[in-house]
């Protein structure tokens, strides 16, 4: 073949790829077109960064800062969610972080200076920090008095001098007698925790100052705990006050809320009532993932293709495979479920629904287990070495690969759905990405149709170095061998050339 013929062939291949990109709505100005013939840039996941959140549960601020620079930033994660940064009661148990004593930023995870430095370092790495916030309550009534992680005193009568609370800032003590009565849920103590009167102007003022302080330090947004235990009007009023004090619009403050939906409970406390304030954590999505990956993905009464059916709209949903609560109450898949857990995370990152949140925690042996090596007032640096007890999910090769897959897929629509009526499914995201998931107990070799241009692609689920590859033929078909309990995933930006160069 002459050099002129080679040049014409290269031109035809690149033109075909660009035409496909335009047809699926990809901006040619930002799409790094893969080519086996050369001229393409090395694939850099950080250049495709989008909305993926990684929750680094109970990680201290030094560890989060390090992970932002070394892992989260380079792999294209958009945000890291951190544990509540306010002063809390002392104790090795994880839930002590969810019992505020004051709003000083001196917690088990670090000092105020360390928190500020973490936010700064993460932002420099392109990663925003989302702070978990606890505003419905303070400490439990079971402890008469004590001092918090920063030395602030508190008692079980409503006296919190460093927070500025007195007994008049709390609802009268009572226990939630039923979740079918909204007033009981809103005005009584959940799990014996002193319940703040969030309708009080003083309480709203204190809480909004806390949010504004975090925003001023550069925090990108908030996860708000126990939201269904507050009136929707109170939550909205607090956010409006935060917006007013910070000089921001409501829409510029990212805000997701823990509202556990249950149709057996009062209508007034369902997730739909809190959508004016922000997103909601869609627990039903996680519950469904467990049921589907534990049984059949496509053969039951609900196919995984239709997983968003009758739950929160995608734009208002924050989704996860597990979190620190659900992994301990056996409601969701966890690291103990092995392959199914990994596949569920891959599906979440691939399927176009909600804002995905990948959980990174540690091994636990009972519902109270704190991080390995935690003391009553501190948490050690995370350790990602083997047998350390920390999961470091953000470092798993399959998660690394699927974060990039998610980001390259972008807003491309679901396409080319194919399944065997049971535990083998495959689908694409327009002409940008494709995944096949094998939730069965035997290896499967299947030919699937894709919308990707012909060429060689890296299997990003298998590895980060393109040691596994996929060939897409000129008709768009690809024959994939998918091991049991595994997946094959590839996208337009990761080819042997763009990854190995």
Enumerate the active-site residues: 225, 258
Evaluate whether 452 touches 495 at the Cβ level (below 8 Å): no
Give CA–CA dist 198/230, Å, rounded: 7
Give CA–CA dist 273/257, Å, rounded: 11
Cβ atoms within 10 Å of 93's Cβ, excluding its own: 16
The DSSP output letter for 160 is: B
Give CA–CA dist 82/319, Å, rounded: 16
Evaluate whether 231 touches 205 at the Cβ level (below 8 Å): no
How big is the CA angle at 387 (ends 385 and 388), to the nearest 5 degrees?
60
Helices (H) and strands (E) in the chain, counts: 11, 20
Measured in whole angstroms, how far is the alpha carbon of residue 281 from the centre of its chain? 10
Measured in whole angstroms, how far is the alpha carbon of residue 125 from the centre of its chain? 18
Give CA–CA dist 452/436, Å, rounded: 14
Q: Which helix (H) or strand (E) holds 198?
A: none
Q: What share of the chain is helix, strand, coil (3-state, %, to 5)?
A: 35, 20, 45
CA distance to 102, 153, 165, 213, 477, per residue, from 161 (Å):
8, 7, 6, 19, 67
The 3-class secondary structure across 224-250, one letter per residue, is ECCHHHCCHHHHHHHHHHHHHHHCCCH
Give CA–CA dist 96/109, Å, rounded: 12
Give CA–CA dist 371/377, Å, rounded: 12
Residue 255 has, within 13 A of its CA and on its CB side, a CA count of: 22
CA dihedral 122, 213, 283, 384 (to 10 degrees): 30
Name every residue whose Cβ is closer than 8 Å to that of residue 41 and which is 6 or more positions away in sequence: 32, 498
């Amino acid at each position: 073949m002459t050099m002129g013929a080679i040049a014409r062939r290269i031109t035809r291949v690149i033109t075909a790829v660009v035409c496909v990109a335009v047809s699926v709505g990809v901006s040619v100005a930002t799409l790094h077109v893969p080519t086996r013939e050369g001229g393409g840039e090395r694939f850099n996941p950080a250049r495709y960064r989008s909305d993926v959140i990684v929750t680094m549960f109970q990680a201290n601020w030094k560890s989060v800062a390090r992970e932002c620079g070394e892992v989260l930033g380079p792999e294209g994660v958009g945000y890291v969610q951190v544990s509540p940064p306010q002063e809390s009661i002392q104790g090795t148990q994880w839930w002590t972080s969810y019992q505020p004593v004051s709003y000083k930023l001196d917690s088990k995870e670090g000092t105020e200076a360390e928190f500020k430095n973490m936010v700064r370092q993460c932002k420099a790495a392109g990663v925003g920090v989302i702070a978990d916030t606890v505003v419905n309550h303070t400490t439990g009534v079971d402890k008469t008095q004590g001092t918090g992680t920063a030395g602030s005193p508190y008692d079980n009568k409503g006296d919190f001098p460093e927070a500025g609370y007195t007994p008049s800032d709390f609802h009268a003590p009572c226990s939630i007698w039923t979740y079918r009565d909204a007033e009981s849920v809103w005005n009584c103590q959940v799990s014996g925790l002193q319940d703040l009167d969030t309708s009080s102007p003083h309480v709203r003022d204190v809480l909004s100052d806390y949010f504004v302080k975090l925003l001023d330090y550069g925090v990108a947004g908030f996860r708000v705990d126990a939201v269904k235990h507050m009136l929707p009007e109170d939550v909205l009023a607090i956010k409006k006050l935060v917006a007013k004090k910070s000089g921001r619009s409501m829409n510029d403050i990212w805000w997701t809320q823990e509202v556990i939906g249950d149709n057996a409970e009062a209508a007034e406390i369902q997730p739909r009532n809190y959508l004016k304030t922000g997103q909601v954590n869609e627990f039903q999505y996680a519950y469904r993932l467990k049921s589907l990956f534990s049984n059949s993905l496509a053969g039951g009464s609900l196919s995984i293709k239709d997983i968003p059916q009758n739950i929160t709209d995608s734009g208002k949903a924050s989704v996860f495979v597990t979190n620190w609560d659900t992994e301990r109450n056996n409601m969701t898949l966890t690291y103990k479920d092995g392959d199914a857990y990994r596949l569920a995370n891959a599906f979440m990152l691939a399927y176009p629904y909600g804002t995905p949140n990948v959980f990174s925690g540690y091994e636990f042996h009972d519902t109270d287990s704190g991080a390995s090596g935690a003391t009553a007032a501190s948490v050690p640096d995370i350790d990602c070495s083997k047998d350390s007890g920390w999961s470091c999910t953000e470092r798993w090769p399959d998660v690394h690969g699927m974060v990039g897959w998610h980001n390259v897929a972008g807003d491309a629509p679901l396409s080319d759905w194919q399944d065997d009526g049971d535990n083998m499914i495959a689908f694409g995201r327009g002409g940008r990405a494709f995944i096949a998931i094998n939730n069965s107990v035997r290896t499967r070799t299947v030919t699937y149709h894709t919308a990707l241009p012909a060429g060689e692609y890296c299997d990003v689920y298998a590895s980060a170095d393109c040691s596994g590859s996929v060939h897409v033929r000129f008709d768009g078909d690809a024959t994939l061998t998918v091991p049991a309990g595994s997946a094959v995933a590839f996208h337009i930006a990761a080819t042997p050339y763009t990854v190995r160069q």
